Amino acid sequence: MVRTQPHLLHVFSTFVPAGPESRAVRLIEGAGHEFRHSIVAMDGRTDAAALFSGKLDVKLLEAPPRAGSLATLRRIRARLVELQPSALLTYNWGAFDAVLAARSLRYGRVIHHEDGFNQDEAQEFKARRVWARRLVLPRVHRVIVPSRKLETIARETWRLPPAKVLCVPNGIDLARFQPADGRPSLRHKLGIPSRAPVIGWVGHLRPEKNPLRFLKAAARVDPETGAHFLILGDGAERAGCEELAAKTPTLYGRTHFVGHQSDPREHYRAMDAFCISSDTEQMPIALVEAMASALPVVTTDVGDVRAMLAPEQADWVLPLDERETAWPLAEKLTELARDAELRSRLGRANRAKALRDYDFATMLDAHREVWRTAARG
């Protein structure tokens, strides 16, 4: 008898190369041929499909036309009836119509992922969304979150039973990341002096990541350090960031935008320090990659970042204050730019913690087991 692969249907609000989407690609490829996969992006954007190696046949399905919530829900419901997936995987609030469609069919094999919040919920939750999660999520198979902070929100704010919530920290293939070593060839290509301290920022250029805060801090880093600033990522904020860098004397000629990099390892190796300037995070994969690259970090105190970093980094995790945060970030970045020995000490501690806590195989095993149990019904 031929064994049929369980069919997993993944529904995203958008399938662009950001944290949850990149993680899903790595998990799908890591699970190999045990499952077959289809992906729907509610906004029709499937840029992250370029991250697949081509070894698996992953189908990209047409997005349901946007025609108001009820009409969209009906179209998703019809798609579920047509496909009869072994399990439905939904990602964040932007895919919640698919959760509602599954509930309307009394289809319980749903794995819902919550990775954090956009700018509209960075400071305060929307009551309608809280109530929707309270009503619907207790009936799904499992809710997966990457951070302890989100696990607490799921249990206390959304009032989910503890057995429904699974915290799986993000992991990466740590063996692929090597300690930063300057990468002189890449620096030469980018026009960065070989001895200049390079401070990096990595992420999708969205408002909640606040790349403008990073640049405002970078502009205040002591210019005598000779620091350069390397930004990886694309998104809606890029034009504003490039405009600020072009018109700010302390940034002009020292800020390098390289866009999204499907393999950012060489760019991490060219950095001397890493910065997170976000308004909201949970457990950013870019932070794990920076830690695995033995980089010291300056960051806003968001999500689980304080707990993720080595204890030695406590003084470089800064309170979030929209009016003042750029100045403390600049002070700490200046401190790192001036002191190579400090950078080395903090970077070694971060890499040791990453190697201990954030391995990809551990993350894959946890997700794959949930996929299996959901597909079995």
Looking at the structure, tell me whether residues 110 and 186 fall in a common domain: no
Residue 2 has pLDDT above 50, yes or no: no
CA 306 to chain centre: 16
Looking at the structure, tell me whether residues 202 and 152 fall in a common domain: no
Task: Write the pLDDT tens digit of every residue in 256-298.
Answer: 999 999 899 999 999 999 999 999 888 899 999 999 999 999 9
Looking at the structure, tell me whether residues 204 and 154 fall in a common domain: no
Question: Would residue 1 count as lying in a domain?
Answer: no
Task: Write the pLDDT tens digit of every residue in 225-242.
Answer: 999 999 999 999 999 999
**What does 153-187 look like in DSSP terms, one character per residue?**
HHHHTS---GGGEEE----B-GGG-------HHHH
pTM for the model stands at: 0.81
Question: Would residue 343 count as lying in a domain?
Answer: yes
Looking at the structure, tell me whether residues 331 and 364 fall in a common domain: no
Task: Write the pLDDT tens digit of every residue in 134-161.
Answer: 999 999 999 999 989 999 999 999 999 9
Looking at the structure, tell me whether residues 58 and 154 fall in a common domain: yes
The pLDDT of residue 199 is 98
Question: Would residue 2 count as lying in a domain?
Answer: no
- Compute the average pLDDT of residues 217-221: 97
Looking at the structure, tell me whether residues 198 and 276 fall in a common domain: yes
**Helix ranges (DSSP H) in the chain:** 19-31, 69-83, 96-104, 127-136, 148-156, 184-190, 211-218, 238-247, 265-269, 285-292, 305-308, 326-338, 340-357, 360-376
Question: Would residue 365 count as lying in a domain?
Answer: yes
Domain that holds residue 339: 174-357
Looking at the structure, tell me whether residues 196 and 148 fall in a common domain: no
For residue 336, which of 221, 244, 257, 234 has the smallest C-alpha distance? Answer: 221
Provide the edge-to-edge strand list for the sheet that holds 165-167: 58-61, 36-41, 7-12, 87-91, 110-113, 142-145, 165-167
Counting the structural domains of the chain, the total is 2
- Compute the average pLDDT of residues 9-27: 93
CA separation for the pair 226, 234 (Å, rounded): 25
- If one compares 1 and 120, the residue with the highest pLDDT of the two is 120
The pLDDT of residue 320 is 85
Q: Using DSSP, state whether 323 is helix, strand or coil.
A: coil
Neighbours of 163 (CB within 10 A): 7
Structure tokens, 361:
């195989």
The Cα-based distances of 293 to 125, 139, 238, 265, 347 in angstroms read: 35, 41, 25, 8, 8
**What does 2-63 look like in DSSP terms, one character per residue?**
PPPPPEEEEEES--SSSHHHHHHHHHHHHHGGGSEEEEEETTS--GGGGGS-SSS-EEEEPP
Question: What CATH number does the domain containing 37 carry?
Answer: 3.40.50.2000
Looking at the structure, tell me whether residues 371 and 347 fall in a common domain: no
Task: Write the pLDDT tens digit of every residue in 320-371.
Answer: 875 677 899 999 999 999 999 999 999 999 999 999 999 999 999 999 999 9
Looking at the structure, tell me whether residues 326 and 369 fall in a common domain: no
CA separation for the pair 36, 56 (Å, rounded): 8
Structure tokens, 118:
């956009």
Task: Write the pLDDT tens digit of every residue in 69-128.
Answer: 778 888 899 999 999 999 999 999 999 999 999 999 999 999 999 998 776 676 678 899
Amino acid at 148: R
Looking at the structure, tell me whether residues 80 and 195 fall in a common domain: no
Residue 1 has pLDDT above 80, yes or no: no
Neighbours of 215 (CB within 10 A): 24
Looking at the structure, tell me whether residues 138 and 206 fall in a common domain: no
Question: Would residue 122 count as lying in a domain?
Answer: yes
CA separation for the pair 39, 55 (Å, rounded): 16
CA-only gyration radius of the chain, Å: 21
Task: Find out whether 39 and 46 touch, Cβ atoms under 8 Å.
Answer: yes
Residue 35 has pLDDT above 80, yes or no: yes
The pLDDT of residue 3 is 57
- If one compares 322 and 316, the residue with the highest pLDDT of the two is 316
The pLDDT mean for the chain works out to: 92
Task: Find out whether 263 and 178 touch, Cβ atoms under 8 Å.
Answer: no
Looking at the structure, tell me whether residues 351 and 363 fall in a common domain: no
Counting residues of the chain whose pLDDT is more than 70, the rounded percentage is: 97
